Structure 1
Amino acid sequence: VRVSRSSAEQRRGRAGRTEPGVCYRLWDEEQTRGLGPHQRPEIQEADLTGLALDLARWGARSVEGLALLDPPPAGAMAEARKVLSRLGALDAEGGLSDHGRRLTRIPLSPRLAHMVAVASDAGDAMTGARIAAVLSEPGLGGSGVDLADRLVGLERDRSPRARDALKLADRWAKAAGGGKGETVEPGLLLAEAFPERIAKARGKTGELLLASGRGAVLDATDHLARESWLAVAELGGGEARDRVRLAAALDGTRIEADLGRLIEIEDRLVKEPSGRMVIRRARRIGALVLDEKVIGAPDAKTMTAALRAEIEAEGLGALRWGEQATGLRARLAFLHGLDAGWPDVSDAALLEARADWLWPVLEGAKSLETISDGRLAEALRGLVPWDLQRKLDELAPSRLDTPLGSAGIDYGAEGGPRVEIRVQELFGVVTHPTVGGGRVPLTLSLLSPARRPVQVTKDLPGFWAGSWAAVRSDMRGRYPRHPWPENPAEAQPTNRVKPRGT
């Protein structure tokens, strides 16, 4: 843990508390400037599952109304409640469950209390309680990585510290119910407390993938490095990846029987090299895939469900947004910014309303790639209330009418709706074009004959009367065959060069 700048200065002051002294710092002087100004409050960095469990016991689901000096981070608090739900400490409504009340009677953190309670129910409360003791007291039972060795070391240790820990473990076991008569593997109990740290071997010896998706490494010479499955209790920062500091072996053949409640089944629609769409079913614990197989070609109902799941997992980016749908969405976003009566087409709003506009589109589709740009645009247009449908083209036309035709309007451009057009095509235009019922002037990116920008303006008449003279002087030398009138407001628009000899 790095010291804060204020703490470092306070320690330096102690060197001269009674008389002049010398303070030695074991880092380079310039590193002091990189230290945090003050130590962060513990509540902003600590595990909040205990606080969340206490709040649930009091009937509260948040810290709102509590006179805390520093509120806990909202994300960390939400994650703490999610952990409690996974442990079964909260019911479906988010209130304290019977199991949660039981955990409050065991004087341990919620994860460890749950582990001891599960061990008691399985008839081996003492093993669960001793594991909790090893996890609560650094160095207890030795310093080996294998939890089984630590438990043996604790049993053999005759020091006062070890005897006190065993007495405390005995009280924890009794508080959890005191179940006995059976033997439970330490790895299974660790998996109950830390399911996101179940690990599977991958790649080189000692390399692991955790259920959370993070990678970890174990010394290749450690006997646990030869195990296919581990339950990890402690991780420490390594040079490049987290290093396993404490773990226990798991029997891979018993994963399904012992940890079946953690297994999730995911059906994914995949395209085979032949182009055929199939359903591939994966059984996994978090990021760890137990097995995966093709279960056949999907029927219409399964296909639709798989497409919905793909949207749920990957978001709207999984769709093939083309020019038509993207343009319409930008126009609607522009109008929503002017008037909340127009539909909100942000990613969050569209996902929230997916059942109204997107799910019907998925019916009968063979894949997300087969949903056309036009079909997406049609679905988006369906979100527009009937009374506003006829105003869409009036308030946010897709193209700007010009004396020689039209030019596309980019409503998603930075700075507002924008049109790129050659300056000669706007000769004779004396009123700056607008959208949104005259409320928003278009940004005109005026181009040279080679379609390079020469001026950006939201005031075309002002440009004609002002900086046009300088632009004209420059452009006449570069493009002598094109017309550059002194008064463009009265000139004829053109997209042609001057006749030869003029």
Structure 2
Amino acid sequence: MPLRTDALDRLPVRSVLPALADALTTRGAAVLSAPPGTGKTTLVPLALAGLVSPGTGSARSAKDVRRVVVAEPRRIAVRAAARRMAWLLGERVGERVGLTVRGERVVGPGCVVEVVTTGVLLQRLQRDPELPGVDTVMLDECHERHLDADTAAAFLLDVRAALRPELRLVAASATTDTEAWARLLDAPVVAAPGVAHPVRTVWAPPTGARPVRPAHGTRVDPALLAHVADTVRRALREEDGDVLCFLPGVGEIARVAALLGAGGAGGAGTDAEVLQVHGRAPAAVQDAVLAGSAGRRRVVLATAVAESSLTVPGVRVVVDSGLAREPRTDHARGLGALTTVRVSRASAEQRAGRAGREAPGVVYRCWTEAGHGRLPRFPSPEIAVADLTPFALRAACWGDPDARGLALPDPPPAGAMAAAREVLRAIGAVDGDGRATGRGRRMAATGLHPRLARALLDGASLVGARRAAEVVALLSEEPPREYGTEVAAVWRAARRGGDGYTARWRRETRRLVAALPGPDGAGPADAAAAAGTPDDTAAGLVVALAYPERVARSRGERTYLMVSGTRAETAPDSGLRDVPWLAVAAADRPVGSASARIRLAAVIDEDTARRAAGALYSEDEEVGWSAPRRGAGDVTARRVARLGAVELAAAPLERPDPALVRTALLDGLRSEGPGLLRWTREALSLRQRLAFLHRELGEPWPEVSDAALLARAEEWLGPVLGAARRRDDLARADAGRLLTALLPWATGEAARLEELAPERVEVPSGSRIRVDYGGERPVLAVKLQELFGWREAPRLAGGRVPLLVHLLSPAGRPAAVTADLASFWRDGYRSVRAELRGRYPRHPWPEDPATAQPTRRTTAAARGGTGRAR
């Protein structure tokens, strides 16, 4: 077939091809900014390869041909780009334009332009960094900030700097935010004009009586999905052309497809053909979408794969749910999952632009115009949120374990890198310095996540290469939900199945078997080790090898504890809920939940758990403070065998290490407070006096709050901590005697304690009355008759604080309160005397108390009678 020059000449990017060629000639690198629909992905590689002329759509001579590798972020984009370029050349894929994705390669001997995933490009760079025979590498859709693309750019910059300065590099972006890439590549920006088809915006937020709940984890409110389906119907009524609807994931696509088929509030389903496009969609469906309509209107329900990498012919309308999925990693629990987030403004513009690729269009946005301004400007770069274990292994194999020398748009977070290196050390992929081991390089060569590579390599010798590869292939792509939640059952279903998932699983299995060492992928111990191992046992062992920290032991119905320390639960209807041990293959932690949710797991026994997670096995003496939910805590001392956080066996420890016991006692004090000690009346009084002096005078008088005492526990509880072994020993310790250790002996101030804050004060009657320091001011509570003749109570804290005197009746009940005795005798005493004299006639009530004789006795006793002092 002839070259399709008419189609090539209509692509707007053609006008900047000379500028792009000049930038590559003079600088060796360029950043191409070209909106969707301009031919960035299709015409530019053909021009770079010399298959078409930069100035026109005509073909060039064979001597001008250069080999070009185009890296796309997704497999579906690879196939679409290769198919479109081959069509423009009038050829089939595999001739001068080929493609390679994991497990599939369509490349003939005359291939000049090869479209690959960024993952495939990284594998090639690590096998041979020089990329022999390649003249130009184009990183497409770099604005999406996928981690593989960022890593590939960093590696390519290293290659240009150290090995092949002539290698040309193009970073292609569908947005105008290209300055960061220009700085990174030290290259000029070449901007192509966009397609001048306007796109009108219709704001179409939900208007139901109940507000739509925000997305949590992977859960999307069904009310929003129903509204999206209704908006698609509205778009079909109001506009012409096909409808492209963006949804966050496969589950939401299936739900909206079902709603469109069943009809919504109006009752009837849509007459349009409904197609579902996502990364797992069968190739036939992807081909049908990209081929265009055969006359019947179409509704294409798609994930973010259709944002910028694909052109869907016939689309004039976009319906945008406003949601996207991004990876999130819980490094503390070792769990990774996708989470639903609000789309960024940049992504929303990309989505809207799909309606204007071929003609004027309309976008229906399922949110408000005001809400649009609150959207994040750009999506989060994957390096900031994803599991960095594969990246860390690539960096180690590249010779830069910390990735500090890599020219990345954003540096990797330190915590995520530390967690990744810990995983790599545990599986033997890197040494103590973080350098890649030979085993780590073999893992990297598989193209798998390092965890799965470990399961493949180690599992092959234990259960056989074929079975290890089959289980690892199951773990590489989460199976359809209808397959079940138990790995062995899913494995059997995949063997029987004939759907798109099964086809991909079989293809990946063949690839993995071929990646193993030995004939047909079999290791030397393959046959002997695999003999007699049932499939269920093999499945559990391989899963446990991949995720040793997710080996989990039952803690009761539906509840498990992983060796990582994470609690997890099975679904109420799961057949896994009554088994003692599980190897968890897939789990996530719903927002707001303390426990993980097990989505896929294999049944194992304790021997398998120990075998797979042996690096986490430990036997230790555990001495600590145990505080039951109900009851008093105490020191516990045991010898414990553990698999990570899971306790396997325990026995009492007769002679625990005294230092550990001391630490446990301190933990108990911190947990339950100084009340564990024996606080006599005298001890409490001393503590109150010290608190008073610290409050009024400050240093050197110590603070004696609970927090302060616990902070200095080693200092004042040393004698007790050295001898105590359990709670009862603390309860016998006299806190008052111990507390004297905190007095300011070094400065000599301790000797003034009685002067500054006396425990008792002698009153005119001769009684020594205890001062109460428990309130805001010190209080002296004494019978009124004992203070006759006393014109002023003493002042404490060096004269700073007057005593607050509580004057008591002969029966010991409060009669008056004063801090100024002279004033009370002069003004207040008369009313107290008038009220109490008749009630207590046997006690003296002189006219002038300021000059009367103080007494502890009744009047009769004072005259020589037998009355007792009160």
* TM-score (norm. length: structure 2): 0.38
Paired residue for 2:513, among 153, 170, 173? 170
1:408-458 alpha-carbon deviations (Å, 9 max, x no partner): xxxxxxxxxxx9668xx9x999xxx9xxxxxxxxxx9x99999xxxxxxxx
Matches within 5 A, 1:379-390: 390=746
Q: Which residue of 1 aligns with 2:449?
A: 109
Matches of 1:147 and 1:246, distance apart in 2: 6
Paired residue for 2:600, among 246, 250, 257? 246
Paired residue for 1:187, among 533, 540, 559? 540
- SS at 2:479 equivalent: coil
Matches of 2:817 and 2:720, distance apart in 1: 52
Paired residue for 1:23, among 351, 364, 373? 364
Matches of 1:212 and 1:307, distance apart in 2: 26
Residue 12 to residue 194, structure 1, CA distance change in 2 (3 Å): closer
2:623 aligned with 1:280, yes or no? no
Number of aligned residues: 414
Matches within 5 A, 1:70-149: 70-92=410-432, 95-97=435-437, 99-122=439-462, 124-139=464-479, 143-149=483-489
Matches within 5 A, 1:92-491: 92=432, 95-97=435-437, 99-122=439-462, 124-139=464-479, 143-157=483-497, 160-174=503-517, 178-179=522-523, 180-181=526-527, 182-183=529-530, 185-204=538-557, 206-236=558-588, 242-252=596-606, 255-256=609-610, 259-269=613-623, 279-292=637-650, 294-295=651-652, 298-299=654-655, 302-304=656-658, 306-307=660-661, 310=664, 317=670, 363-367=722-726, 370=729, 390=746
Shift of 1:402: 9.9
Q: CA RMSD in A?
A: 5.8
1:81-130 alpha-carbon deviations (Å, 9 max, x no partner): 22223223344555545543443443322111111121134362332222
Shift of 1:38: 4.0
Shift of 1:498: 7.7
- SS at 1:243 equivalent: strand
Shift of 1:202: 3.5
Matches of 2:674 and 2:459, distance apart in 1: 53
Could you tell me which runs of 5 or more consecutive residues in structure 1 were left unpaired when the two chains were aligned: 336-344, 382-387, 407-418, 434-443, 451-479, 485-491
1:204-223 alpha-carbon deviations (Å, 9 max, x no partner): 3x443333333333344443
Residue 400 to residue 245, structure 1, CA distance change in 2 (3 Å): same
Q: In terms of Rg, which structure is larger?
A: 2
Matches of 2:567 and 2:637, distance apart in 1: 28
Matches of 2:607 and 2:640, distance apart in 1: 17
Q: Which residue of 2 aligns with 1:462?
A: none
Q: Which residue of 1 aligns with 2:343?
A: 4
Work out whether residues 486 and 600 of structure 2, in 8 Å CA contact, stay in contact via their aligned partners in 1: yes
Q: Which residue of 2 aligns with 1:341?
A: none
Q: Which residue of 2 aligns with 1:44?
A: 384
Residue 350 to residue 447, structure 1, CA distance change in 2 (3 Å): closer
Residue 91 to residue 65, structure 1, CA distance change in 2 (3 Å): closer
Q: Which residue of 1 aligns with 2:284?
A: none
Could you tell me which runs of 5 or more consecutive residues in structure 2 were left unpaired when the two chains were aligned: 1-339, 676-683, 700-706, 760-774, 779-791, 807-815, 832-870
Shift of 1:283: 2.9
Shift of 1:309: 7.1
Residue 187 to residue 31, structure 1, CA distance change in 2 (3 Å): farther
Work out whether residues 640 and 648 of structure 2, in 8 Å CA contact, stay in contact via their aligned partners in 1: yes
Output the amino acid matched with 2:724: A
Output the amino acid matched with 1:186: A
Output the amino acid matched with 2:604: L
Residue 84 to residue 258, structure 1, CA distance change in 2 (3 Å): closer
- SS at 1:224 equivalent: coil
Residue 494 to residue 321, structure 1, CA distance change in 2 (3 Å): farther
Residue 376 to residue 500, structure 1, CA distance change in 2 (3 Å): closer
Shift of 1:261: 4.3
Output the amino acid matched with 1:211: V
Residue 58 to residue 304, structure 1, CA distance change in 2 (3 Å): farther
- SS at 2:652 equivalent: strand
Q: Which residue of 2 aligns with 1:413?
A: none
Work out whether residues 483 and 498 of structure 1, in 8 Å CA contact, stay in contact via their aligned partners in 2: no
Output the amino acid matched with 2:513: D
Matches of 1:92 and 1:493, distance apart in 2: 81
Matches of 1:236 and 1:98, distance apart in 2: 32
Shift of 1:170: 1.5
Residue 225 to residue 66, structure 1, CA distance change in 2 (3 Å): same
Work out whether residues 429 and 441 of structure 2, in 8 Å CA contact, stay in contact via their aligned partners in 1: yes
Matches of 1:7 and 1:247, distance apart in 2: 38
Matches of 1:359 and 1:171, distance apart in 2: 67
